Amino acid sequence: MKVLPIEIKLTYLIALLIVTFFVGFIIFVVLMYKRKQLLYLKEQQLKEAEYQNQLLQKELEKQKSIEQERERISHDMHDDLGAGISALKLQAEFLKQKAEDGDLQNDIDELLKTSEEMNLSMREMLWSLNSGNDTLGSFIDYAVQYADNFLKKTKIKLWSESVDIISDTPISTELRRNMFLCLKESLNNAYKHSRANTLKLSFSQAKNVFSMKISDDGTGIPEAHSEGNGLRNMKRRMQEQNGECQILKNGPGTQILFRVTI
Protein backbone atom coordinates (compact mmCIF):
# COMPACT_ATOMS: atom_id res chain seq x y z
CA MET A 1 0.00 0.00 0.00
CA LYS A 2 1.27 3.40 -1.07
CA VAL A 3 1.54 5.88 1.78
CA LEU A 4 0.50 9.46 0.96
CA PRO A 5 3.11 12.08 1.56
CA ILE A 6 2.66 14.10 4.72
CA GLU A 7 2.20 17.28 2.70
CA ILE A 8 -0.88 15.85 0.97
CA LYS A 9 -2.28 14.65 4.31
CA LEU A 10 -1.73 18.10 5.75
CA THR A 11 -3.42 19.65 2.73
CA TYR A 12 -6.43 17.33 3.12
CA LEU A 13 -6.61 18.16 6.83
CA ILE A 14 -6.45 21.91 6.21
CA ALA A 15 -9.08 21.62 3.45
CA LEU A 16 -11.34 19.63 5.79
CA LEU A 17 -10.89 22.22 8.53
CA ILE A 18 -11.66 25.01 6.08
CA VAL A 19 -14.79 23.23 4.83
CA THR A 20 -15.87 22.51 8.43
CA PHE A 21 -15.24 26.14 9.39
CA PHE A 22 -17.12 27.35 6.33
CA VAL A 23 -20.09 25.09 7.06
CA GLY A 24 -20.05 26.16 10.70
CA PHE A 25 -19.87 29.80 9.64
CA ILE A 26 -22.86 29.35 7.32
CA ILE A 27 -24.81 27.66 10.11
CA PHE A 28 -23.85 30.50 12.48
CA VAL A 29 -24.94 33.14 9.94
CA VAL A 30 -28.25 31.34 9.35
CA LEU A 31 -28.90 31.05 13.09
CA MET A 32 -28.02 34.70 13.65
CA TYR A 33 -30.31 35.70 10.77
CA LYS A 34 -33.13 33.61 12.19
CA ARG A 35 -32.54 35.09 15.63
CA LYS A 36 -32.50 38.61 14.23
CA GLN A 37 -35.63 37.90 12.24
CA LEU A 38 -37.35 36.52 15.36
CA LEU A 39 -36.32 39.57 17.36
CA TYR A 40 -37.62 41.79 14.58
CA LEU A 41 -40.96 39.98 14.55
CA LYS A 42 -41.22 40.28 18.34
CA GLU A 43 -40.38 43.96 18.10
CA GLN A 44 -43.07 44.44 15.46
CA GLN A 45 -45.57 42.56 17.61
CA LEU A 46 -44.71 44.75 20.58
CA LYS A 47 -45.13 47.87 18.46
CA GLU A 48 -48.46 46.59 17.16
CA ALA A 49 -49.59 45.76 20.70
CA GLU A 50 -48.51 49.22 21.87
CA TYR A 51 -50.37 50.80 18.95
CA GLN A 52 -53.51 48.80 19.74
CA ASN A 53 -53.22 49.81 23.39
CA GLN A 54 -53.00 53.45 22.35
CA LEU A 55 -56.09 53.06 20.15
CA LEU A 56 -57.92 51.34 23.00
CA GLN A 57 -56.90 54.10 25.40
CA LYS A 58 -58.12 56.75 22.97
CA GLU A 59 -61.41 54.86 22.53
CA LEU A 60 -61.83 54.60 26.30
CA GLU A 61 -61.15 58.31 26.66
CA LYS A 62 -63.64 59.01 23.88
CA GLN A 63 -66.28 56.85 25.55
CA LYS A 64 -65.61 58.55 28.88
CA SER A 65 -65.98 61.94 27.24
CA ILE A 66 -69.26 60.89 25.64
CA GLU A 67 -70.57 59.58 28.96
CA GLN A 68 -69.59 62.83 30.69
CA GLU A 69 -71.39 64.81 27.99
CA ARG A 70 -74.46 62.61 28.37
CA GLU A 71 -74.41 63.22 32.11
CA ARG A 72 -74.07 66.97 31.59
CA ILE A 73 -77.00 67.07 29.16
CA SER A 74 -79.03 64.93 31.54
CA HIS A 75 -78.37 67.27 34.46
CA ASP A 76 -79.08 70.37 32.36
CA MET A 77 -82.38 68.92 31.15
CA HIS A 78 -83.37 67.98 34.68
CA ASP A 79 -82.43 71.36 36.16
CA ASP A 80 -83.64 73.66 33.37
CA LEU A 81 -86.32 71.91 31.33
CA GLY A 82 -87.69 69.98 34.31
CA ALA A 83 -87.96 73.11 36.40
CA GLY A 84 -89.65 74.94 33.52
CA ILE A 85 -92.26 72.22 33.02
CA SER A 86 -92.98 72.11 36.76
CA ALA A 87 -93.39 75.89 36.87
CA LEU A 88 -95.73 75.77 33.85
CA LYS A 89 -97.83 73.07 35.49
CA LEU A 90 -98.10 75.03 38.77
CA GLN A 91 -99.06 78.19 36.92
CA ALA A 92 -101.75 76.34 34.95
CA GLU A 93 -103.18 74.84 38.13
CA PHE A 94 -103.25 78.31 39.71
CA LEU A 95 -105.07 79.75 36.69
CA LYS A 96 -107.57 76.89 36.74
CA GLN A 97 -108.51 77.73 40.33
CA LYS A 98 -109.17 81.33 39.35
CA ALA A 99 -110.96 80.58 36.08
CA GLU A 100 -114.76 80.59 36.13
CA ASP A 101 -115.44 79.97 32.46
CA GLY A 102 -115.95 76.27 31.68
CA ASP A 103 -114.29 76.40 28.28
CA LEU A 104 -111.27 78.11 29.78
CA GLN A 105 -111.01 75.41 32.43
CA ASN A 106 -111.12 72.75 29.70
CA ASP A 107 -108.32 74.51 27.87
CA ILE A 108 -106.28 74.64 31.05
CA ASP A 109 -106.92 70.91 31.59
CA GLU A 110 -105.49 70.26 28.11
CA LEU A 111 -102.49 72.39 29.03
CA LEU A 112 -101.99 70.37 32.20
CA LYS A 113 -102.28 67.14 30.25
CA THR A 114 -99.70 68.34 27.73
CA SER A 115 -97.30 69.41 30.49
CA GLU A 116 -97.63 66.00 32.13
CA GLU A 117 -96.89 64.26 28.82
CA MET A 118 -93.84 66.50 28.35
CA ASN A 119 -92.69 65.64 31.86
CA LEU A 120 -92.98 61.90 31.14
CA SER A 121 -91.11 62.28 27.84
CA MET A 122 -88.36 64.19 29.59
CA ARG A 123 -88.02 61.44 32.19
CA GLU A 124 -87.66 58.87 29.41
CA MET A 125 -84.92 60.94 27.76
CA LEU A 126 -83.11 61.38 31.08
CA TRP A 127 -83.25 57.63 31.62
CA SER A 128 -81.88 57.03 28.11
CA LEU A 129 -79.03 59.50 28.60
CA ASN A 130 -77.92 58.16 31.98
CA SER A 131 -75.02 55.76 31.36
CA GLY A 132 -75.58 54.32 34.82
CA ASN A 133 -78.64 52.59 33.37
CA ASP A 134 -76.67 50.60 30.78
CA THR A 135 -77.33 47.25 32.49
CA LEU A 136 -79.93 44.56 32.00
CA GLY A 137 -81.27 44.93 35.53
CA SER A 138 -81.79 48.66 35.11
CA PHE A 139 -83.62 48.16 31.82
CA ILE A 140 -85.96 45.52 33.28
CA ASP A 141 -86.74 47.64 36.36
CA TYR A 142 -87.58 50.65 34.23
CA ALA A 143 -89.58 48.59 31.73
CA VAL A 144 -91.76 47.10 34.46
CA GLN A 145 -92.19 50.51 36.11
CA TYR A 146 -93.17 52.12 32.80
CA ALA A 147 -95.63 49.33 31.92
CA ASP A 148 -97.19 49.55 35.38
CA ASN A 149 -97.69 53.33 35.11
CA PHE A 150 -98.99 53.02 31.56
CA LEU A 151 -101.57 50.34 32.38
CA LYS A 152 -102.74 51.92 35.63
CA LYS A 153 -105.20 54.06 33.69
CA THR A 154 -106.62 51.03 31.88
CA LYS A 155 -108.49 47.89 32.89
CA ILE A 156 -105.50 45.71 31.91
CA LYS A 157 -103.73 44.05 34.83
CA LEU A 158 -99.95 43.69 34.60
CA TRP A 159 -97.90 40.61 35.51
CA SER A 160 -94.12 40.38 35.20
CA GLU A 161 -91.45 37.72 35.64
CA SER A 162 -87.68 37.48 35.24
CA VAL A 163 -85.86 34.17 34.67
CA ASP A 164 -82.07 33.70 35.06
CA ILE A 165 -81.38 37.42 34.68
CA ILE A 166 -77.86 38.61 35.57
CA SER A 167 -78.70 42.17 36.57
CA ASP A 168 -75.26 43.71 36.04
CA THR A 169 -74.93 42.41 32.47
CA PRO A 170 -73.92 45.47 30.41
CA ILE A 171 -75.98 46.53 27.39
CA SER A 172 -75.44 49.42 25.01
CA THR A 173 -77.43 52.62 25.22
CA GLU A 174 -78.69 52.08 21.67
CA LEU A 175 -79.95 48.56 22.42
CA ARG A 176 -81.58 49.70 25.65
CA ARG A 177 -83.36 52.53 23.85
CA ASN A 178 -84.60 50.35 20.97
CA MET A 179 -85.84 47.63 23.31
CA PHE A 180 -87.72 50.25 25.32
CA LEU A 181 -89.31 51.76 22.20
CA CYS A 182 -90.44 48.25 21.16
CA LEU A 183 -91.96 47.82 24.60
CA LYS A 184 -93.81 51.15 24.31
CA GLU A 185 -95.21 50.22 20.90
CA SER A 186 -96.33 46.80 22.15
CA LEU A 187 -98.08 48.28 25.19
CA ASN A 188 -99.77 50.91 23.06
CA ASN A 189 -101.03 48.26 20.61
CA ALA A 190 -102.31 46.10 23.47
CA TYR A 191 -104.17 49.06 24.95
CA LYS A 192 -105.72 50.11 21.62
CA HIS A 193 -106.54 46.80 19.95
CA SER A 194 -106.29 43.75 22.23
CA ARG A 195 -109.35 44.14 24.52
CA ALA A 196 -107.24 42.20 27.00
CA ASN A 197 -107.76 41.86 30.75
CA THR A 198 -104.18 40.89 31.60
CA LEU A 199 -100.75 41.51 30.12
CA LYS A 200 -97.57 39.69 31.07
CA LEU A 201 -93.99 40.88 30.70
CA SER A 202 -91.46 38.03 30.68
CA PHE A 203 -87.69 38.57 30.71
CA SER A 204 -85.16 35.76 30.43
CA GLN A 205 -81.44 35.34 29.84
CA ALA A 206 -79.57 32.33 28.49
CA LYS A 207 -75.84 33.13 28.60
CA ASN A 208 -75.53 36.10 26.23
CA VAL A 209 -79.04 35.90 24.73
CA PHE A 210 -81.69 38.17 26.22
CA SER A 211 -85.41 37.72 25.53
CA MET A 212 -88.38 39.94 26.27
CA LYS A 213 -91.87 38.53 25.69
CA ILE A 214 -95.09 40.54 25.90
CA SER A 215 -98.25 38.41 26.15
CA ASP A 216 -101.90 39.37 26.53
CA ASP A 217 -105.16 37.45 26.73
CA GLY A 218 -107.00 39.63 24.22
CA THR A 219 -108.55 39.00 20.84
CA GLY A 220 -105.23 38.41 19.09
CA ILE A 221 -104.17 39.49 15.62
CA PRO A 222 -106.52 38.33 12.82
CA GLU A 223 -104.93 36.07 10.22
CA ALA A 224 -105.92 38.38 7.38
CA HIS A 225 -104.65 41.47 9.19
CA SER A 226 -101.87 43.22 7.27
CA GLU A 227 -98.61 44.13 9.01
CA GLY A 228 -98.88 47.70 10.29
CA ASN A 229 -96.25 50.39 10.70
CA GLY A 230 -95.85 49.62 14.39
CA LEU A 231 -94.88 45.99 13.84
CA ARG A 232 -92.64 46.88 10.92
CA ASN A 233 -90.86 49.47 13.05
CA MET A 234 -90.32 46.98 15.87
CA LYS A 235 -88.88 44.40 13.46
CA ARG A 236 -86.63 47.05 11.92
CA ARG A 237 -85.35 48.18 15.30
CA MET A 238 -84.50 44.63 16.31
CA GLN A 239 -82.83 43.88 12.97
CA GLU A 240 -80.64 46.95 13.46
CA GLN A 241 -79.49 45.39 16.74
CA ASN A 242 -78.93 41.98 15.09
CA GLY A 243 -81.93 40.69 16.98
CA GLU A 244 -85.38 39.43 16.06
CA CYS A 245 -89.03 40.23 16.64
CA GLN A 246 -91.57 37.40 16.32
CA ILE A 247 -95.33 37.12 16.65
CA LEU A 248 -95.93 33.79 18.38
CA LYS A 249 -98.95 31.61 17.52
CA ASN A 250 -98.91 29.18 20.44
CA GLY A 251 -101.72 30.56 22.57
CA PRO A 252 -104.71 32.88 22.86
CA GLY A 253 -104.28 36.61 22.56
CA THR A 254 -101.09 38.16 21.23
CA GLN A 255 -97.52 37.14 22.10
CA ILE A 256 -94.58 39.19 20.84
CA LEU A 257 -91.07 37.92 21.41
CA PHE A 258 -87.98 40.11 21.19
CA ARG A 259 -84.63 38.28 21.28
CA VAL A 260 -81.14 39.73 20.97
CA THR A 261 -77.53 38.77 21.67
CA ILE A 262 -75.93 41.02 24.29
Q: Looking at the structure, do residues 140 and 254 belong to the same domain, yes or no?
A: yes
Average pLDDT over the chain, rounded to whole?
Answer: 83
Domain harbouring 161, CATH code: 3.30.565.10
The whole-angstrom separation of Cα 210 and Cα 215 is 17
Type of residue at 212: M
User: Is residue 244 one of the residues assigned to a domain?
Assistant: yes
How many domains are contained in the chain? Answer: 2
The whole-angstrom separation of Cα 158 and Cα 127 is 22
What are the tens digits of pLDDT across the range 130-147? Answer: 777 889 999 999 999 999
Q: Looking at the structure, do residues 261 and 206 belong to the same domain, yes or no?
A: yes
Cα 67 to chain centroid distance, Å, stands at 14
- Quick check: 108 pLDDT over 60? yes
Q: Looking at the structure, do residues 186 and 169 belong to the same domain, yes or no?
A: yes
| Cα angle: 150, vertex 151, 153; to 5 degrees | 90
Q: What is the pLDDT of residue 76?
A: 64
Secondary structure of the chain: what % helix, strand, coil (to 5)? 65, 15, 20
Q: Looking at the structure, do residues 235 and 122 belong to the same domain, yes or no?
A: no
- Quick check: 4 pLDDT over 60? no
Q: 129, 144, 165 — which closes off a domain? A: 129
User: Is residue 24 one of the residues assigned to a domain?
Assistant: no
Q: What is the pLDDT of residue 136?
A: 93
The whole-angstrom separation of Cα 80 and Cα 67 is 20
Q: Looking at the structure, do residues 147 and 186 belong to the same domain, yes or no?
A: yes
Structural domain boundaries, residue 111: 78-129
- Cβ-contact 143, 135 below 8 angstroms: no
Q: Looking at the structure, do residues 226 and 181 belong to the same domain, yes or no?
A: yes
Q: What is the pLDDT of residue 88?
A: 73
Q: Looking at the structure, do residues 218 and 199 belong to the same domain, yes or no?
A: yes
pTM here is 0.64
Confidence of residue 255 (pLDDT cuts 50, 70, 90): very high
Across the beta sheet with 209-216, the strand order is: 157-163, 198-206, 209-216, 255-261, 244-248
